[in-house]
Every structure is written in structure tokens, then in C-alpha cells.
Chains A and B, each alone.
Chain A
Amino acid sequence: MFDIQQFKLINKYALRDFTRSYKKLWVVTSTLFVSLLLLSLTFSVKEALNSEIENNSKKLLGGDIQVTSGIDPLPEKIIDEFDDLGKVSTAIEFATMLSKEGESPVFTELRAVDDNYPLYGNIETIPQIASERIFVNSQKPSVLINESIQKLLKLSFGDDVVIMGQQFEVAGLVSSVPDLAESAVFGEFAIISMESYEQFGLNSGGSFLDHQYRIKFKNSTQVEAKEKLVRSIVEYDDSIEIRLPGESGQSLSRIIDNFSNFLNLVSVSAMVIAGVGISNTLLSFVNQSNTSIAVKKSIGFSSSFIQTMYFYEIMMILVLTSVVAYFIGVFSPLLANELLPEALGIDLQPTFSFIGYLNIFFIGLLVVLIFSIPSLYSISEIKAAALFRNTFNPVSLNFSLMNIILLSILVVILTTYFVYQTEQKLYTVLYFVAFFVTMLIFYGVSKLLILFIKAFYKFSNNSYRIAYRNIVAKKSLAPIMTISLGIGLTLLLTLSFVANNLKKEISDSIPSMAPDLFFVSIDRDMQRDLESFIKDVDPNVELEFSPMASASFISLNGTPIEEVVSESNRSAWVVRGDRRISWSEKPKPDNPIIEGEWWEPGIEDELFISMDSRAAYDLGMKINDKIVLNILGRDVTGIVKNFREVDYRDISINFAIIINKAFANKLPYEYVGTLKSELPSSEILARIVEKFPNVSAIKIDRILSQVSEVLNKVFIAVTAISLIVIIIGLIVIVSAVLVQTTFRRYNNLIYKILGVDFPTILKAMTMEFAVIYGTLIFFALSVATISSFLVVENALQLSWQFDLGLTLWILLSTAVVSFVLILMANRSIFSPKVYPLIRNE
């Protein structure tokens, strides 16, 4: 039944109407644009990051394939076999101390590389040639350090640093390496040549040592066959790990996905608030155009034609704003490049894709449909007969049964579309449910407020009376303000509460009980000397050493562990890769046993296992389950004896897996330890490293400051994003104010004529705002408290705390900004020129 002529007519009318009355639709245009832009920004950055990771997967891995053999190097024979396949680059990664005379040593991730490194991409250094200098054989070897070390030790080029008792000259700064090194981005990272590593016997022998072999195949044919070959070459040892290019960016992709998913949800929230504004604007637009609509009806146009015409007009705005928003958004990766740490070595490219545009358009379409249907269907309630009587009753949102069903379907489609796109389906659904429930709550609140005030109406004061009239009036600001500002405020409060709790957790609760230093891989022969040395330095020191060995999880009750535990399992880390285990004959006092019993001491030929209770729960373990662990290349079957409650937050030494000491006595091991002292930790550390160059120790406050640095950035980002939501909310409110100024002006004018003075009117407006905002605060705070409590206690497993200062700050600043905006939007009321306007009413 499509009529091309009819369509042309609709197109013509819509264009004409839009070009002549676009001013009335600025709210629709601006809010739609801002929220689409937000959506487009997040989509584009995510897309660019993912494609960067995908396109550079070989660079990120550093080769076509990576083989990791852990503490022990691969035998020569195997490396020779690799050589036949292509170019091989060997690297060793380990943690050690890097020190400079007069400064506290820093815990550093050191990478020793051969001159084939890197196989893909480049090491970016300052100066440019520094990357070659480390391979130059000279009396004094050189080292490349990252910016963080340079800052901590106040180093300049040519300075001397000491690594494991050996002097190195600083050749330059590494700004980025192709294969992502986390410590290069967030911590301390240095590169030396493999030659110096071997020549000076830097090997500490600790279990934090990692041998990596990367291969670049001779040619790019039959890659899969070559991968298979490599697999078969190292098949003899279970503990050797193989990684392919696709897998290199996985953890990064997951972080990006989670963060961008969160951003998308916030963007949709922004869109929905924009939707509230669109709905309100369209309704007042319809009411303002009621005579035109009635005339068209009297001439013989049907309601559906007129609805289609306006709808088409909104679609034009949607297409226009979404195209512009998409094109601006596409360039956002360039901005992201500026904000991302340089050491990541990521260079995002703007990419256009029609699918990407459609994605944004589709979401915009759904939101616009949901919010314009009730407004535009009100057109059918405009009666042309009113033209004979010269009176028009304002129409209101049309919530017929048909519309409610239609809206529900659209909401379900919107939710499903989002859930379908994300990895975290449950959280997304929960978010949407919480969001729409919050919206309903605020809608209810506005209705209740009006009912409540009506019931208690007994005001004698003029200001109160005017405020009362304004709130209960048909075109009251209350509903639109409670919904749009309410949701924005709730979102801002919730996000700040969550972020603030995280920050608090890191910054104040931990350091009080946390140790100062954390020793990594202490040789068992050295442990005694180290202990007595430290006790000489500080007799009151609190020292704790635990033995430690490496093991990996093979199976649970006969089933390979990969089949039992999915990647997304919260405790998957416990069974993935190498896990450090410890042993003890007695239960640890700070690890209470919550199920099962501790073992009989002295049984040498049986392996007993004590598990972290949370991991055990997540992995579905029961007491007396049989677990196969690979310890030093040998598979051993053990029995789960008990579950301990482990609190990792206290940063003391904790292990997910503890075994019986009698069994472990046969194993080679090393120690990890903690130190807590009244003396400055940097001083103690400096003296330890001087005496024991092979000891590595992490300063806990450094880690905490790193974490809180990252969290601070997240906090700022989160606040900025939720501010955008508030801004959209404010645009919506201002538009609502503007829509009703004619009505307000008239009222206020009457008051003036009746002799009510300016301060009284101002007081009335303040009262009105205070009442609405006060109600809103109560509910926004309640909802934010509940939702942030749930997130903090359940998803983050922290204890929730309330911050009065932050809350007051947010509430006050939002109140001031909104009120000032409302006054500004209302300014014509205060102007003395108001009297002549009455003739136009």
C-alpha cells in the first residue's frame, strides 16, 4: 500500500516544517546529538582498540608463536629444531632489584633479550639508537629503563645502576616495546641484552624467572602445520606453554570489552534521559501546533498522515544527528591515543564502517521510537471540531493498550540488542532492569509528591502558595525534573560511591595492616642469613617467611581441569598456568578452616591439600576430592582435606593451595616473605640489596600508589561520563522550563498585577525547587546507596562505606547548577518588559 506520491508529500511537509520550526525542536536535536555522540565515541574507541589488537596480534605476541618454559631453559636440541622453522628470539623475564647509589632500590621487571629481538615491530627508545647500544659488547654493559624507573631513581643517561651486584650504564629510555609488557605500562621495566645476562651470571634461580622463545616462521605458508610441529616438539613436558598471536591480546580485549560495555550502558542511560526530554518536547510541540493539526484534519488529512509526517521529521533529525555524531565519534580513537599510556605502544586508527553507523542508528531509532510514540499518538486526540469553538484542550501522552504493548516490545528489543552484544549478559540485564525500575520509581515519586502536597495544602504565606500552585499545576516541572535529574543524579551518586569505595579500600584500610616489603623468591640457602641480617638492622622487625614451590593444576576427580572450569569462572586463575603453593604442618591462624579438618602431621608419602574456600566453591570442589597437581614435571595425586577462608586483602602471604609439609620436604623450594618495620622501608631495602644483591623485594606502598593512580584515572573518567548524563538531564529540564515559560509568565504576571512583589516570586521559585529537589535527593540517595552497596559488597566483595563529604558535594553542586540554569531559563519572568506580553497571551 506504499504510495510514492504520499511519501513525497510527507517528505515535503516534514522538510518544510523542520526548516521553519527547527527552533522548537532544538532540544530533540541537541540531546539526541549529545547522547548519540557519547555512544559513538565509546563504540568507535572499542572498535579501534579491538582491530588494533587483532591487526597487531603478531606484534603483541612478538612472534608467530611463543613457547614459554618457565624457570628452566629449553634444551639446545629443541632450540635447534625451532631454528629450522624460522628466526628464533630468546628472552628471559624475571623480577629483580635495580638500584642507584643513594636511592632506594626499585623492584623491576627485567627482560634479557637476544639481538633477534624484536621479531615484529620495534623497541621505541630515547635516544633512538639506545636500543642498539645494549648489544654493543663493552666493559660495562648497558640497560634500557622505563620512565617510571627514571623518575623513581632520578636517573639520567650515562648514569650507573646496579642489578644483582653488577654495574650497568643507563643507555636510554624505553618508551614502548611491541609485545605488551604490563610492567612497562604500569610499573618498572628494564631491558638488557642476553649476553650481559649470561656473562655476569645474573640468574637468581628464583621461581619468578621465565624463559620465552618466540619464532618468526620463514614464510607465511602452512602456518598451521608449523604450529602443530612446534606443539609436537615440546609435547614431552606439560608445563611448557604455547601461545598463538590470537591469544596475545585476550586479557586486554577482555578489559576493553568490560569497560566499553560499562560505557555503553551509561551512554544508553544518557539516551534514555534524552528520550524523556524528546517525549516532553514533542508533546508540547504537538500542543503548540494544535490548530495547525486541527486545520489539516478539517481539510481531510487523517491523523495517521499527520503522525507519519511528524514522525518522519523526527527521523530526519535522527539521521542527521546520528550521521554527524558518528563521524565525530569515528575520530575519537585519535583522542584516545593521547590519553592511553604511551608505553602500551598502541596507535589507534579511525575506521569508518557502515555497520558501525547502523549500530548507533538502530539504538537511536529504538530510543526515539520508545519516547516519541506516546507523544505523537496524542495527535489523534486533537479534535478539529475545536476550530468551531476556538478552544483547545491540551492533549497528554497517549498510553493506550496498543501503545503499551508496542513500547514493551521495543524496550525488550533494546535490552536484548544490548545483551546480545556483550559478554556479561547477566550484568547487562540487571543494569537495564535497575535502570527502568529507577525510572518508574522517579515517575511514581513525582506523582506522589503532587498528591502529598495537595493533601497537606494549608499555606498562608504567599510564596508557599505560589510554589504550591506551580508544583500541582498541569504543566508542573515536577515530573520531568524528578525523572531526568533523578536518574542522572542516581547514576552519578552510584558510580561515585562505587569508585570511592574502591579508592578507600586501597588507600586507607590496607596499609595499616599491610607489611612494608614483600620478598620475592629468596634462595633457601640464603634465607637464614637474610633473616639474621635484617634482625640486626632492626631488632623489632616483624618478619614472616613461607616456603614456596610451583605447581600446576592437572585434573579434578579424573576430569581434566580445562573441562571443569570455564574461562569466565571467577576463580579460574587458581587453576590456570603455574600456581605457587606452600606447605605447613599446622593451620595458619589468620586462615580459619571452615570445612573439613587439618591433616595428621608426618605422613610423607601422601599429598594432602588445603584449598582457599572461595576458589573451592567456585570450582565445585568437595572435601576428599582427588586433585592431580604437576609438581616439578611430575603428576601427583592429592586429597582435598579442608577449605580455608583466605582474605587476600591484607597483603600478607597467602596461598590458594597449601599442602602437607611432610610430603613437601622432598621438593626443592624457595622462600617468599614479608617485612614490617618502624624504620623507613626504603632504608632497610637499600641495606638489604647492598648486602644481598640477588634478593628482590617489592615496596608495598609503591604498588598501592600504582593501583590508586590507575583508580584515580578511572574515577575521573567515570565522573566525567556520568556528568554528561547530568548535563543531558539539565538540557531536558531547561527545555521543560522554556516550554512552560509562557504559562509561568502568565501566572507570575497575574501575581504581579495582584501586587505580589518580586522577592516573593523568587522565594516561591526557590521553594518549589527545594521541595522537588529535596524529594529527589531522598530517593536518588536511597537508590544509589542500595545499588552501590550491592555492587561493592557482591560484585567487588568489599565492605561498603558511606562518604558524607562526597555525597554533600555532589548534591550541592548539582543543586546549584540546576537552580541557576532554571533561573536563567526563566529570566524573562523577571524582566520588567513582561507587561506588554500580556497582549499576546
Chain B
Amino acid sequence: MSAAIQFNNVSLNYGTKTDTVEVLKSISFSIDSEEVVSIVGPSGSGKTSIIMLASGLETASKGSVKINNQEIVGLKENELSEVRRKNIGIVFQSFYLIPNLTAVENVLLSLEANQQYNLEKDAEELLGEFGLSHRLHHLPSELSGGEQQRVAIARALINKPKIILADEPTGNLDSANSEIMIDLLFDYTKKSQTSLVMVTHDNSIAKRCDRIIEIRDGQIV
């Protein structure tokens, strides 16, 4: 099995005027393709930071980050966009659907970013699988939180990315909705042989993963 994500002695520092904050302290780990991993740890330990580094939305201060064996530290903005487009789907805690686009249009956005056009059928089908066939053409403001998050997940999955990064995807949901969400994510990753990295505070969810990475003070324990 080849590695989907590889961190090698990765550090992340934030410089403020007075001092620098060492958020991640030379961490190394690797996540295989098709592996489902959860990241846990106390608040402020650096979980989100890891997701940001893996998605290329933040740049490591030191060390190397590889996505599908491609080094992404030092890439230009456009190149990072391409890596993201081709390999990664992201699910945020606050859904972040685009407010003036309907559910289907939000999902199509991912396909179109990858130059795949006229695939409305696929998007509708996926949303149908997520139990949203009756909400296809609704704006986000007309959807419940759980529905919004399902659309967000569909948007992340529609491209069949090799990696899904999710930062507390159930953080804004009640337990029933969380359950549905996690089932969807797990089913889908298993079916399409995708690796999943998920930050969570929920122990029961963490336990369902292949592996748990625990972070404390910017270090893996």
C-alpha cells in the first residue's frame, strides 16, 4: 500500500509581534490510501492545523508534506490549487455552502473546478443517495443544518478524491444527524477506496476508525 499523506518532521510556527507560537513541533506520520484515521486531542493542540497543512491551505514552517507522493511544501498557489482539485475533498465544521447556489449547484462546483462539465445527473444521484432528492434545487438558507452538511459532504466526494479531510464535521450537528453523517462518510470511503482523515471530539466516532492519532501540545502521543 502506498501513502496518501506523508508528514515528515513538520513544524508550524505562527509569528506574532511579541513572540512565535510553535503550533506543531516536528511531527511525522503517514496515512495509507484507503485508511480511515481520526485525529483527537484537546482544544488548541493543533488538530485543525494538521488538516490545513494536509490540504495545502497552510504552509509548513519546516519539514515535508507529501500528497500521493508529491511534495507540496514550496508549491505556488496555482499548483496547490491543482493538487487540491485532483486529490482532496474538504468538509468543514460550518458547512460553508455558497449561499446563492442551490444544493446541486454547490455540488457541481467541485466537478466544474476539475473541468468536468454537464454532470448534473451524477450530482443529483449522489444527493439522492444522501437522502436529498427532494431538496436538490433549494438554496442553503432553505436547508437544515444536517441537510447542509450532507450537501457539503457530497460536494467533497463528488470528484472521487483520493483523500477526504474533515474538521469536526459533526461539530455543529445533533447526535442523530451526526450518526447519519458519519455513516455516509464511512460507507462512501469504504466503497470508493478513499482515505479519510477526520478531526473529532467524539470518542465513539474515533473508535470506528482504523487508527487514532492523538495530538497534545503540537506533538503526536
Chain A residues in contact with chain B, CB under 8 A? 5-6, 8-9, 16-17, 20-21, 291-292, 294-304, 380, 383-385, 387-390
Contact = CB atoms under 8 A, between A and B. Distances in A.
Contacts of B93: 388, 390
B96 A291 contact: yes
Contacts of A296: 98, 109, 113
Given A5-B117, A302-B78, A388 B84 contact: no
Nearest to A294: B96
Interface of B: 48, 51-52, 55, 57-58, 77-78, 81-82, 84-86, 90, 92-94, 96-101, 105, 109-110, 112-115, 117, 155, 167
22 contacts: A5-B117, A8-B117, A16-B101, A20-B100, A21-B100, A292-B99, A295-B97, A296-B98, A296-B113, A297-B57, A297-B81, A298-B55, A298-B84, A298-B96, A299-B110, A300-B110, A301-B81, A303-B77, A387-B94, A388-B48, A388-B52, A389-B48
A300 B113 contact: yes
B58 A385 contact: yes
A294 B155 CA distance: 15
Given A384-B57, A388-B167, A299 B109 contact: yes
Contacts of A299: 84-85, 90, 109-110, 113, 155
B130 to A, nearest CB: 18
Max chain B CB contacts within 10 Å: which of A6, A297, A298, A390?
A298
A295 B55 CA distance: 13
A9 to B, nearest CB: 6
Nearest to A389: B48
A9 B96 contact: no
A351 B38 CA distance: 72
Nearest to B116: A5
A388 B100 contact: no
Nearest to A13: B112
Contacts of B92: 387-388
A304 B78 contact: yes
Contacts of B96: 291, 294-295, 298, 387
Given A292-B99, A299-B155, A388-B48, 15 more contacts: A16-B100, A16-B105, A294-B96, A295-B96, A296-B98, A297-B81, A298-B55, A298-B84, A299-B85, A299-B90, A387-B96, A388-B52, A388-B92, A388-B167, A390-B94
Contacts of B99: 292
Given A298-B57, A383-B57, A17 B115 contact: no
Q: Which 3 A-B pairs have the closest CB atoms?
A: A300-B85, A385-B57, A20-B100
Nearest to A300: B85
B46 to A, nearest CB: 12
A301 B113 contact: yes
Contacts of A8: 117
A295 B106 CA distance: 10
Nearest to A8: B117
A296 B109 CA distance: 8
Contacts of A384: 57
A300 B84 contact: yes
A336 B152 CA distance: 59
B50 to A, nearest CB: 11
B153 to A, nearest CB: 13
A385 B85 CA distance: 15
Contacts of A21: 100
A20 B139 CA distance: 12
A297 B77 CA distance: 10
B7 to A, nearest CB: 17
B81 A388 contact: no
A389 B47 CA distance: 12
A292 B84 CA distance: 17
Contacts of B100: 16-17, 20-21, 292
Contacts of A301: 81, 113
A387 B155 CA distance: 15
Given A9-B112, A21-B100, A298 B90 contact: yes
Nearest to A20: B100
Contacts of A300: 81-82, 84-86, 110, 113-114
Nearest to A9: B112
B102 to A, nearest CB: 10
Max chain B CB contacts within 10 Å: which of A291, A296, A388?
A388
A6 B112 CA distance: 9
A206 to B, nearest CB: 80
Contact of A385 (B52, B78, B86): B52
Contacts of A390: 93-94
B188 to A, nearest CB: 18
A302 B98 CA distance: 16
Nearest to A390: B94
A384 B78 CA distance: 13
A466 B31 CA distance: 55
A297 B82 CA distance: 10
A300 B97 CA distance: 15
A381 to B, nearest CB: 11
A246 B12 CA distance: 79
A17 B51 CA distance: 30
A5 B119 CA distance: 14
A295 B52 CA distance: 14
A694 B6 CA distance: 111
B56 to A, nearest CB: 9
Contact of A295 (B58, B98, B112): B98
B178 to A, nearest CB: 19
A389 B112 CA distance: 26
Contacts of B167: 388
A388 B57 contact: yes
Nearest to B117: A5
B68 to A, nearest CB: 15
Nearest to B105: A16
A302 to B, nearest CB: 5
Given A17-B100, A291-B96, A388-B48, A9 B117 contact: yes
Contacts of A16: 100-101, 105
A387 B96 CA distance: 8
Contacts of A9: 112, 117
Contacts of A297: 57, 81
A294 B77 CA distance: 13
A324 to B, nearest CB: 25
A298 B55 CA distance: 8
Nearest to B199: A388
B198 to A, nearest CB: 14
A695 to B, nearest CB: 82
